[in-house]
Amino acid sequence: MANIIDYVHKYGDVRFENKKFNEVDNLIFSVLTYLDFSNTRINENCHTLEEIGRVYMRQNSYKSVRKLGIAMGDAYLLLKEVVEANRYRHLIVSNYIYNTKRDMQFSAITFRITRGLECIAFEGTDQLISGWREDFEMSCSFPVPSHVEATKYLNEHVKLLGPKVIVCGHSKGGNLALVAAMFMNKIKSQRIKAIYNNDGPGLRDAEFESKNYQRVLKKYIHIVPHSTVVGAMMHNSNYLVVQSDKENIISHAAATWQVVGDHFKRGRRSERSLETERRLWGWLAKHDDADRKKLLEAIFGTIEGCDILDTMSLGKMRNLAKIFRSSKDVDKESKDLVIGLFKEVVLKR
């Protein structure tokens, strides 16, 4: 079965002027954001995707990038293909930002598709613990720091009289695309053509029921694989289910999504995915924001107290569950739920 790399092989010589931007292209640009282009001098001059891609590959090997996680490894392999493809290689890339702090991991990039269309893509969660802290904090806090940065990015780079814009992202990046479009300048938001959330978390009750969400709903597309775990977190709507050639959390990897022609193969949510969603909502219904924050502070405080900054280091700790359970003032059900999610969502990436 074909995937996004096969799609590049098939349509790589077809320019966007001759074949319009589609849902598969959205995922391709979302995946490319996982690569750290900080050292490619991307913002010093106008650079094409081919130019920055070749600089990046001279600076980094696949082996070194793959050690950072599945998403980064898949992005590297995809980059090797798009720099050779006429559909992508000549696109102008600009406005790159990569910013990490203790409580935030944020990256965004702009691709000029045609004279009248741009694609702004937000990075999903990489290997940094700060990014995973934000993912979990979305269940009890709004906005998280990356929400603020993403909204600021759209306000700065979407022009009132500029091209139409497609906003997208994978995993947390998809949630950022949605929230930034919801809360950006209302006049500038009219330039937004579509919003793609590729298996990213949804929204809390308050944001899901807000006028801001209703305002962008017609432009919003939430794509989830049939075994989604991440995309089942919090409220979701307007989603389409696609078939992955993997099960459970591995289906979150964009390279596993099946492509037929120029679109994804449609699928149906698996029973395990639906059960995970029911379990999550059951827990959320019994715990308010204060309880959720207390749990997350206990878990991430323990991790950070051990000077663990990334998931590779975390995965090497054989006594991970024991350390988490040592956290006081958190009930066993809550610990078991988060430990299970952490093992499934974070450590299997």
pLDDT, tens digit, 9 for 90 and up, residues 138-159: 777 889 899 999 999 999 999 9
What's the domain count of the chain? 2
Q: Do 206 and 323 share a structural domain? A: no
266 and 308 part of one domain: no
pLDDT for 236:
84
Q: How far is CA 28 from the centre of its chain?
A: 12
**Same-domain status, 230 and 163:** yes
Q: Do 329 and 200 lie in a common domain? A: no
Min mean pLDDT across 153-167, 221-235, 263-277, 312-326 is at 312-326
| Least confidently predicted of 109-118, 230-239, 250-259, 334-343 | 334-343
pLDDT for 104: 75
Query: Is pLDDT above 70 for 204?
Result: yes
Give residue 347's pLDDT: 47
Is there a single domain that holds both residue 231 and residue 293?
A: no
Residues 298 and 176 in one domain: no
Last residue of a domain, one of 218, 242, 270: 270
**Residue 336: is its pLDDT beyond 80?**
no
Is position 136 within any domain? Answer: yes
Is the four-CA dihedral 205, 155, 32, 216 of positive or negative sign?
A: positive
Residue 100 lies in a domain: yes
Mean pLDDT (whole number) for 330-348:
61
In a domain, 188, yes or no: yes
CATH code, domain with 88: 3.40.50
The pTM is what?
A: 0.88
- On whether residue 166 sits in a domain, the answer given is yes
Q: Average pLDDT, whole number, for the chain? A: 86
The answer for 114, left when phi > 0, alpha when psi is -120 to 50, beta otherwise, is beta
Full domain range(s) for residue 51:
4-270
Q: Is residue 278 one of the residues assigned to a domain?
A: no
Residue 153 and residue 218 in one domain: yes
